[in-house]
Structure 1
Amino acid sequence: MMKHGKTVLLASLLIPGVALAQINEGDALGTTEADITAALESQGYAITEIETEDGEIEVEAMLGGKAYEIEISAETGNVLEIELDDEDDSDDS
């Protein structure tokens, strides 16, 4: 019985950390750079660049050593698209 309790405790400690570091399309992050930065940083992302263009807020961010490009609606604050930026695919080759 004690073994089962430790497993449940370990699982409950690990699962929230995984859930925190995950955003999905449709998630509301906010409509200002400050709101978006706070929302992403609270989930472990490091923001490298934010720019607004054509009604979208484009965020470049790092998480777990990987680069992401996140597009957010400037009107609703919802995530429109998340792309893993594969830096190995350079246009220089």
Structure 2
Amino acid sequence: MKAPFNSAAITLLSATGLIASMGVALAAVSLGDNLGTTEADIRSALTSQGYTVEEFETEDGKLEAEVMKDGQEMEVVIDAKSGLVLELELEDEDDGDKDDD
């Protein structure tokens, strides 16, 4: 004889799975995120989300961080005044240096 599942237990398990999957999704940087306006703040925000900051530079009022996570390189462009993420660019392994067009 099978024991019936308690609907509250099923709801709790479903909610736990949803929250866990949201946590994974929230761990990635997205357009519009506020990472801060200083290099230290931005580095801290990115590393807390699991990124390794490989390079950091300031150019034309924008802060640019080259980061690595899970073997994928990405450039994150942040507005220097607001701290908001303006651009995310995944680096293509076959592309090499993107300035060599």
**Range of TM-score over shorter length:** 0.7 to 0.9
Q: 1:57 corresponds to which residue?
A: 63
Structure 1: which 4+ aligned runs deviate by more than 3 Å? 5-8
Q: Percent identity?
A: 45
Distance in 2 between residues matched to 1:28 and 1:77, nearest whole Å = 5
Offset at 1:23? 1.6
Structure 2-normalised TM-score? 0.77
Offset at 1:36? 0.2
Q: 1:84 corresponds to which residue?
A: 90
Higher Cα Rg, which structure: 2
Distance in 1 between residues matched to 2:45 and 2:77, nearest whole Å = 14
Match of 1:18 among 3, 21, 25: 25
Give 3-state SS (helix, strand or coil) of 1:31's partner: coil
Q: Which runs of 5+ in 2 are unaligned?
A: none
Deviations 1:24-81 (A, max 9, x none): 1111111100000011111111100101111110100011110000111111111110
Over the residues paired in the alignment, what is the CA RMSD in angstroms?
Answer: 2.0
Aligned residues: 91
Give 3-state SS (helix, strand or coil) of 1:9's partner: helix
